Structure 1
Amino acid sequence: MSRRSLAGLLVGAAWTLPNTLLGLLAGMAGLPFGAHVHWRREYPALVFHGWPWGPGGALTLGNVIIHTGDDLDVPCLTYAHRAGRCVDPPVRLGDHERAHVYQYMALGPLFLPLYLLCGGVSVRNRFERAADRYAMSGEG
């Protein structure tokens, strides 16, 4: 990793630190109930696997990914596919969540309010569609 990209990651991580702290609190709440945590450089995030609550899947808060399963290297359907808008091939859940980490690092404390203003967890949300595009192409 070049010095420039490392500097960008550090600035982004500092900018989204309030969101990351929320993620750490939520993730740590699951530790006594069987969750386990690992640093995953490729995301770049702390990943809490086996989080015991929720409908399944993953949630990203800053540089923290909270996941109900044991591995992010699983296929998932895009939001547009699930909504019946198109037929997309499955994407890798980890790639989708990595896109959210990058979105948080770019927008910092502005991300959550903007995400909610754009529709929250739904196909209408431009952040979810962008994360799906990134998971499909590795770009964006």
Structure 2
Amino acid sequence: MSRSPPWLRLLQVLGALWTAPNTLIGLAGGAVGMLAGARPRWSARDCAVVFDHWPWGPGGAITLGNVILHTGADLGIACRTYAHQAGRCVEPMIRLDDHERAHVYQYLVLGPLYLPVYLLCGGVSVRNPFERAADHYARHGHGWWPR
């Protein structure tokens, strides 16, 4: 396993500081979820604290800064892209952890601006370029920033 270059680690630390308000919201949500059985763990691959078995929501995951709130037991499950779910095309399944990792990277760039920009771009829908970019990253391993 190769280590990240020092400049990339520095950018990740600066991004984590920049998005700390979002991370605090995620940690608060995870802490409340722990009262109902959520289990926290650190995922170095995803640069996030993952709360598995988070008890609320329709299923899947939501990312808040460097926190992923996940309703299932394994974030590495296969899921459909937003475009596939919306009937726009047929695409192969993606991994949920890859999709959510793209959102972590997006948060590292936009910090506290992420949530308002994300909502202005359409929220949780196929119209949102942040969701399409996360799906693209999950399919191809690159391109997590919206085009």
Work out whether the TM-score is over 0.5.
yes
- Separation in structure 2 between the aligned mates of residue 96 and residue 124 of structure 1, nearest angstrom: 16
Q: How does 1:21-40 map to 2 (within 5 A)?
A: 21-40=24-43
User: Aligned partners of 2:6, 2:128: CA distance in 1, in Å?
Assistant: 34
Counterpart of 1:43 in 2: which secondary structure? coil
**1:54, CA displacement in angstroms?**
0.9
Counterparts of 1:103-122 in structure 2 under 5 Å?
A: 103-122=106-125
Alpha-carbon RMSD across the aligned residues, in angstroms, is 0.5
- Partner SS for 1:14: helix
Identical counterparts, % of pairs: 62
Which residue of 1 is the match for residue 15 of structure 2? 12
Which residue number in structure 2 is paired with residue 98 of structure 1? Answer: 101
Taking structure 1 as the reference length, the TM-score comes to 0.99
Please list every run of 5 or more consecutive structure 2 residues that lacks an aligned counterpart in the other structure: none
- 1:123-134 superposed matches below 5 A: 123-134=126-137
Question: Whole-Å Cα distance in 1 between the matches of residues 140 and 84 of structure 2?
Answer: 16
Please list every run of 5 or more consecutive structure 1 residues that lacks an aligned counterpart in the other structure: none
Q: Paired residue for 2:82?
A: 79
Inter-partner Cα distance in structure 1 for 2:81 and 2:120: 20
Runs (4+) of structure 1 exceeding 2 A deviation are: none
Report the number of matched residues. Answer: 140
Q: TM-score, normalised by structure 2?
A: 0.94
Distance in 2 between residues matched to 1:34 and 1:79, nearest whole Å? 28
Query: Which of 54, 61, 64 is residue 61 of structure 1 equivalent to?
Result: 64
